[in-house]
Amino acid sequence: MHKLRLNLSHLYALLFLVYLIAPLVVMSGAAFNDNKLPSIVPWKGWTGRWFVDLWHDERMLLAFANTLWVAAAVAVISVVVGTAAAILINSISGRVRTVLYGMMIATILIPGVVIGISTMIMWTKLGGVLFGVDKPFPFIPGLHLSVLGQVSYIAAMVMLLVLARLQSFDAGLEEAALDLGASHGQVMRRILLPHLYPAIGAGAAVAFFQSIENFNVTQFTRGGADTLTVYVFSKVRSGITPTINALAFLLICFTLLLAAAYEINRRRLARIEATRQAEARRAEEMAEVTGLA
């Protein structure tokens, strides 16, 4: 019975991996199919021309560059806002904490279309009230408004990750450091933030990739600028080509390289830590032997 359960669990894991990977394989295969439609059926032979067309598609490359810039800006601002909100919420209690937490979480539950329209209306109306409708910046739609709109809900995701990390933080370390004469800034830099670095890094990655895949907020706030999701949507309506698949294949390869580099670095650090602990144990054993002698 135990063996049957083990085999079923292995089968389930295999099917789950196939379910995740098969669409990526099919999409990547279409990048090498000499067919004008982004599909592997019918297969008309191997080709690399879609990568050449991608290189010469200036609009797509510009949209991709815009996407990266927006994602980087969203990641930076979301990390700052989300980390600050998490530290603030963790340091207070009572009804104020509940209200602040609810306000931050509510943005995740609001549909992206509503956030996009609300961001556009608020900033354009605010610009008209303060400076008049003819003032072009920063109160007309553009990528800057896309960044603000995305930060309004992505920062809450970063906050949740940092809050979860704060649950394992020993507040006594802060009190001890303050008693020893450290300033609040030193406690923040040398004790609290180093403990939060894993959550901050994870939050930055989540914010970056959430921004890359965002469509609804960007669609209503981008103005005349293109991002990758908006560009792909426009191509779907006018006629999509396998150049999209070529770009997706390159992104998949880049992601796999990053994952491999992360895993190699993690194992290297684990080996260093294991070596350090082994040396510490040997030193303790030698000290005990010397003491007994």
pLDDT above 90 (res 81): yes
- The pTM of this model reads 0.80
Q: Is residue 43 part of a domain?
A: no
Domain holding 100, by residue range, is 59-244
More confident residue, 289 or 163: 163
Contacts of 194 (CB under 8 A, 6+ apart): none
Tens of pLDDT, residues 86-118: 988 988 888 888 888 888 888 888 888 888 888
pLDDT band at residue 159, thresholds of 50, 70 and 90? Answer: very high
Query: For the ranges 16-20, 59-63, 285-289, which has the lowest average pLDDT?
Result: 285-289
- Locus of tokens 């979480």: 105
Helix, strand, or coil (residue 46): strand
pLDDT band at residue 2, thresholds of 50, 70 and 90? Answer: low
Tens of pLDDT, residues 201-250: 889 989 998 999 888 898 888 888 888 888 888 877 777 788 888 888 88
pLDDT band at residue 284, thresholds of 50, 70 and 90? Answer: confident
Q: Is residue 293 part of a domain?
A: no
Q: Is residue 207 part of a domain?
A: yes
* Mean per-residue pLDDT, 179-184: 78
Contacts of 202 (CB under 8 A, 6+ apart): 161
Q: What pLDDT does residue 134 have?
A: 55
Mean pLDDT in the chain? 84
Q: Is residue 286 part of a domain?
A: no
Q: Is residue 37 part of a domain?
A: no
| Residue from 152, 163, 148, 80 nearest 109 by CA | 152
Structural domains of the chain, count: 1
Tens of pLDDT, residues 107-154: 888 888 888 888 888 877 776 656 555 554 556 778 888 999 999 999
Q: What pLDDT does residue 129 have?
A: 59
pLDDT above 70 (res 263): yes
Residues 71 and 63: their CA atoms lie apart, in Å, by 12
Q: Is residue 92 part of a domain?
A: yes
Q: What is the CATH number of the domain that holds 156?
A: 1.10.3720.10
pLDDT above 80 (res 291): no
Residues 212 and 210: their CA atoms lie apart, in Å, by 6
Q: Is residue 107 part of a domain?
A: yes
Q: What pLDDT does residue 161 have?
A: 93
Q: Is residue 6 part of a domain?
A: no
